[in-house]
């Protein structure tokens, strides 16, 4: 069993900590929000006064933070993980951030003799609670093999995809597919509704064919039922597509679909919809048509 420091105890970090405790690891936790620390401490963890204090008593430090700037602050900043981490320990950043930032943080860790993996996740809160996240990992084979059992206490699929940064490139690929799928579903359901069809009938007719997908099955019922309670927030998906576009620019590739959907997400945030589920991308297309996707009798 390992001594693990955990920084970032939000929607994802909280349940991930519970699964690490369940697997028998000793946890020392930190978040800038004291109530979140208290909740995890009530489940059996100890509290640290800072990220560096958590790192000082740990062999492994996991971070689960909103985006790259928070990861840079919590790992590289004053009172951050690297101030406390001993040479030979391992930092695993499980946040979804720019691969460029992952590489920068990884290089800073390496310069201090600290191992680093970027290991973002897919699956959302339900899979964080069940311990069945899909975890995509960037780093060296040797460090990955050592950390595999710890990662397996939070996920059912743990895959090494390449060097540091590759985990986040893979996560961005995942986020592009999900966002463009939701937008395409929105256009399809708006068209069908305007044509006078019941969107439930259209969904049932196409879900078993080539257009069927996990995204369609999860999100079409939410849209038709007008339930936009998050799941995964518009503002986080906007951040992921922004990171995808920054990576694309540095690699000199065009991502026209990603760019369009990112603009839709930004417009929705300006309408005050940043905390709705990302299925609400559909409302942007509804706005252009002046209708809502609903069954005819609803
Ligand atoms: P969240 O906002 O609920 O949690 C982030 C936590 O980090 C907050 O509790 C915040 O107080 C804390 N924090 C911020 N700055 C800090 C600092 N400097 N030091 C210590 N703590 C700090 O976010 P979340 O939904 O848990 O997502 C975390 C990451 O996981 C994001 O990168 C997100 O894109 C990714 N993700 C989320 C989901 C999802 O469905 N929510 C799914 C897959 C991946």
Mutating to test ligand 1, I would choose from 5, 7, 8 the residue with most ligand atoms within 8 A of its C-beta, which is 8
Residues 6+ apart with CB under 8 A from 96: 67, 120, 121, 168, 171, 175, 236, 239, 240, 243
- Considering the four listed CATH numbers 3.40.50.720, 3.30.300.30, 3.40.50.300, 3.20.20.70, the one that applies to the domain covering 3-164 is 3.40.50.720
- Considering the four listed CATH numbers 1.25.40.10, 2.30.130.10, 1.10.1040.10, 3.30.465.10, the one that applies to the domain covering 169-289 is 1.10.1040.10
What tokens does 146 get? Answer: 């050592």
Q: How far is the CA of 11 from the centre of ligand 1 (A)?
A: 7
Digit-by-digit pLDDT tens for the chain (298 residues) are 899 999 999 999 999 999 999 999 999 999 999 999 999 999 999 999 999 999 999 999 999 999 999 999 999 999 999 999 999 999 999 999 999 999 999 999 999 999 999 999 998 888 999 999 999 999 999 999 999 999 999 999 999 999 999 999 999 999 999 999 999 999 999 999 999 999 999 999 999 999 999 999 999 999 999 999 988 899 999 999 999 999 999 999 999 999 999 999 999 999 999 999 999 999 999 999 999 999 988 7
* Tens digits of residue pLDDT in 14-58: 999 999 999 999 999 999 999 999 999 999 999 999 999 999 999
Domain boundaries, the chain: 3-164, 169-289
How many angstroms separate the CA atoms of 27 and 116, rounded? 19
Note whether 94 and 120 are within 8 A (CB): yes
DSSP string, 204-252: HHHTTSTT--HHHHHHHHHHHTT----SSBHHHHHHHHHHHHHHHHHHT
Note whether 126 and 104 are within 8 A (CB): no
Looking from the CA of residue 77, the nearest atom of ligand 1 is 18
Pocket of ligand 1 (CB under 6 A): 7-13, 30-33, 36, 51, 64-67, 70, 73-74, 95-96, 121-122, 124-125, 232, 236
How many angstroms separate the CA atoms of 12 and 142, rounded? 27
């Amino acid at each position: 069993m390992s001594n693990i420091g955990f920084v970032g105890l939000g929607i994802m970090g909280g349940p991930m900590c519970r699964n690490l405790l369940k697997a028998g690891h000793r946890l020392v936790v930190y978040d800038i929000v004291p109530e979140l620390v208290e909740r995890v401490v009530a489940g059996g963890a100890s509290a640290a006064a800072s990220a560096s204090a958590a790192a000082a008593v740990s062999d492994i430090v996991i971070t689960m933070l909103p985006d790259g700037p928070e990861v840079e602050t919590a790992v590289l900043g004053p009172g951050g993980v690297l101030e406390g981490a001993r040479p030979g320990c391992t930092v695993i950043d499980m946040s979804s951030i720019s691969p460029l930032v992952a590489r920068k943080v990884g290089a800073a860790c390496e310069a201090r003799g600290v191992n680093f993996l970027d290991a973002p996740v897919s699956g959302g809160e339900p899979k964080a609670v069940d311990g069945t996240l899909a975890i995509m990992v960037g780093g060296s084979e040797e460090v990955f093999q050592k950390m595999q059992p710890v990662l397996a206490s939070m996920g059912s699929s743990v895959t090494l995809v390449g060097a540091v940064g590759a985990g986040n490139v893979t996560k961005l690929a995942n986020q592009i597919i999900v966002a463009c799928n939701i937008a395409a579903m929105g256009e399809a359901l708006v068209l069908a509704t305007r044509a006078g069809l019941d969107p439930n009938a259209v969904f049932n007719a196409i879900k078993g064919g080539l257009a069927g997908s996990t995204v369609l099955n999860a999100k079409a019922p939410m849209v038709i039922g007008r339930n936009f309670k998050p799941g995964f927030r518009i503002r986080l998906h906007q951040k992921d597509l922004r990171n995808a576009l920054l990576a694309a620019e540095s690699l000199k590739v065009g991502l026209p679909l990603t760019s369009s959907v990112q603009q839709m997400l930004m417009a929705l945030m300006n309408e005050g919809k940043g905390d709705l589920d990302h299925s609400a991308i559909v409302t942007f297309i509804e706005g252009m048509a002046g209708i809502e996707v609903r069954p005819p009798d609803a």
